[in-house]
Structure 1
């Protein structure tokens, strides 16, 4: 009886460890991109953005920028997912795409460290009763690099020139691969389209590592 109990206990232990490892592996294969999003809809009475047709509009500074083309491709994928249709000939909306990125040194909480940061160390020497001498040293290693990225979409009614929808999404974190992060930001920017809640909100999207 004891032998059977031990075998059963061992089996449950092995099964629990396998389940825990599976769960940890699944978590390790995904990362959470938490974006701060602000969206404002200003749609005139009688107009609907659902299924609207659009074309892209570029600023002169974006005209020959290859990154602007990639950003438009990513924005187009996100807009297609919410029902918007690109139709350059029959568009009722123009869409201006914005994007920016920067990097900074971060503290353990992910906050930017000022430009005056310097690695430093300390040495302490002490003596007391008896004959002993103590020496200690502490060194702060260079902090990690974090990246802040932001995207924006401005939709304008081509007939009136009025902005009917504006949305921005930003994310700061340790991920250096810009292309998938920017694509995720465009998805976050269009969350709840075309009826977004008021004010700043957090949109979480899981992304493979």
Structure 2
């Protein structure tokens, strides 16, 4: 059984490495300005620190991840002459889930064996015991928030949140994808909640050195 599990796990890891991973996110956006308003299109912005809370990576790290998504949406970072102030936040909360159930299966194998012997009355007893499978495994809720404020009026002009719930624990990659999802459709986002899938391509494999390389 353990050998079969290891083979399946290796196959799964191979499949994940060979194709893009999808970060599925639930997104809700509020645009206080009319869609396509000039204040939003190609706006120059500067970052403002967002309130810090539990489960938040360092501010500079979150801003760096968001800056790439903002540039993709056509915004320009300009600390000298910004029109918008942008607050970005990211949080990661871990929890444990169980795979037991009528449609579940075993997961997260944790081998726990015990071996004992005894000698009494001319007999020898051997035994082993302990849970071979732990039906719980970690999962993570990751959220990204983008808030834009018009520096001339003080009005909030764009507010978008994206949330991903899954077992993949790669904070930078997931947050980067969530910022892309939060800005999907900018500056004309659809009304109401929506589901957005962001593919993340695997890192390119490094070429093996030639035989004559030292």
Output the TM-score relative to the length of structure 2: 0.66
Shift of 1:26: 8.1
Which residue of structure 1 lines up, in the alignment, with residue 200 of structure 2?
207
Q: Superposition RMSD on alpha carbons, in Å?
A: 2.8
Which residue of structure 2 lines up, in the alignment, with residue 41 of structure 1?
31
Counterparts of residues 114-153 of structure 1 (less than 5 Å): 141-153=134-146
- The answer to which of 84-93 and 98-107 deviates more is 98-107
Shift of 1:25: 5.0
Cα distance, 1:151–1:140 mapped onto 2, change above 3 Å: same
1:51 and 2:49 are equivalent in the alignment: no
Deviations 1:170-204 (A, max 9, x none): 10111111111111111111101111111110000
Query: What is the distance in 2 between the residues matched to 1:151 and 1:60?
Result: 13
Query: What is the distance in 1 between the residues matched to 2:171 and 2:51?
Result: 24
Which residue of structure 2 lines up, in the alignment, with residue 12 of structure 1?
none
Number of residue pairs matched by the alignment? 157
Shift of 1:67: 1.2
* Gapped regions of structure 2 (runs ≥ 5): 1-13, 101-130, 203-214
Shift of 1:144: 1.2
Counterparts of residues 140-179 of structure 1 (less than 5 Å): 141-179=134-172
Shift of 1:30: 2.2
Which residue of structure 1 lines up, in the alignment, with residue 92 of structure 2?
101
Output the TM-score relative to the length of structure 1: 0.67
For 2:89, what is the secondary structure of its paired residue? strand
1:87 aligns with one of 54, 59, 78: 78
Conservation of the 8 A alpha-carbon contact between 2:57 and 2:91: no
* Gapped regions of structure 1 (runs ≥ 5): 1-23, 110-137
Deviations 1:36-91 (A, max 9, x none): 000111116964311000000114648xx971101101111001011100001110
Conservation of the 8 A alpha-carbon contact between 2:164 and 2:178: yes
Counterparts of residues 73-84 of structure 1 (less than 5 Å): 73-84=64-75
Larger Rg: 1
Conservation of the 8 A alpha-carbon contact between 2:140 and 2:167: yes
Cα distance, 1:139–1:40 mapped onto 2, change above 3 Å: same
Query: What is the distance in 1 between the residues matched to 2:191 and 2:88?
Result: 21
For 1:34, what is the secondary structure of its paired residue? strand
Structure with greater proportional helix content: 1
Which residue of structure 2 lines up, in the alignment, with residue 17 of structure 1?
none
Cα distance, 1:169–1:61 mapped onto 2, change above 3 Å: closer
